[in-house]
Amino acid sequence: MRIAYAGDSTVAFNKFDSYPQTGLSQGLTLYLKDEIWLRSFGVNGRSTKSFIDEGRLQKIDEFLAKGDLFLIQFGHNDEKAEDPSRYAAPFGAYQENLSKMIGVTRRHEAYPVLITPVARRRFDVTGTFLGGSHGDYPRAMKELALRENVPCIDLNALSEAYLENMGDVASRTMYVFPKDNTHLTHYGAVIYAGMIANGLRDLGEPYCAVLL
């Protein structure tokens, strides 16, 4: 069994030139059996729309085989209404594009898993966590998952709860702070990837078969 992981910069596999930024595809490898190959298709700045328009879903179509997992995580850049090359309305093009990715997966008799976008680190001046940074996108993904009968790991809810519990100061080491509060450090990627791993474990076979 192999894993294809599609998404944006929060998923992408980083090298030394973007250190300390680390993607969830890197963090997740720590939870996998040695024989499991994870290929990251995450690319900085991509939405479901631009990912498909650039032919990146076609590359996954060529990669997938029967029994593989396809992890699908988008939302950060679909939200950018000011950029028509990336914007995808949550209950419109966003769901339609996710459905295309699910369709590609099923055509190969592989297993799609939707993952809601990881939370942005937002606190007000009093240190109170401000949730809801992704608006309607997590709900749109979860509703589509129910409609398509596809598993969905609600990383957005899990990461928001974790940030609220950690607090402003302690959570800074999880993100590339003070540069930004979106991209993850190695520490943050490992913590959040652990939530994804737990989600796969909770789904049972065949999803948990990739895990240590």
Q: What is the mean pLDDT of residues 175-204?
A: 98
pLDDT of residue 31: 98
Domains of the chain, by residue range, sit at 2-210
pLDDT of residue 15: 95
pLDDT of residue 77: 98
pTM: 0.98
Identify whether the C-beta of residue 145 lies closer than 8 Å to the C-beta of residue 101: no
Q: Pick 2-210's CATH classification: 3.40.50.1110, 1.20.1050.10, 3.40.630.30, 3.20.20.70.
A: 3.40.50.1110
pLDDT digits (tens, 9 = 90+) for 46-91: 999 999 999 999 999 999 999 999 999 999 999 999 999 999 999 9
Q: How far is CA 185 from the centre of its chain?
A: 15
Q: What is the mean pLDDT of residues 204-210?
A: 98
pLDDT of residue 21: 98
Contacts of 93 (CB under 8 A, 6+ apart): 48, 49, 78, 87
Q: What is the mean pLDDT of residues 165-176?
A: 98
Under DSSP, the state recorded for 175 is: B
Helix (H, G, I), strand (E, B) or coil at 104: helix
pLDDT digits (tens, 9 = 90+) for 98-152: 999 999 999 999 999 999 999 999 999 999 999 999 999 999 999 999 999 999 9
Cα torsion angle, 45, 11, 75, 2, sign: positive
pLDDT digits (tens, 9 = 90+) for 28-42: 999 999 999 999 999
Q: What is the mean pLDDT of residues 197-202?
A: 98
Residues in the chain: 212
pLDDT of residue 61: 98
CA-derived radius of gyration, the chain: 16
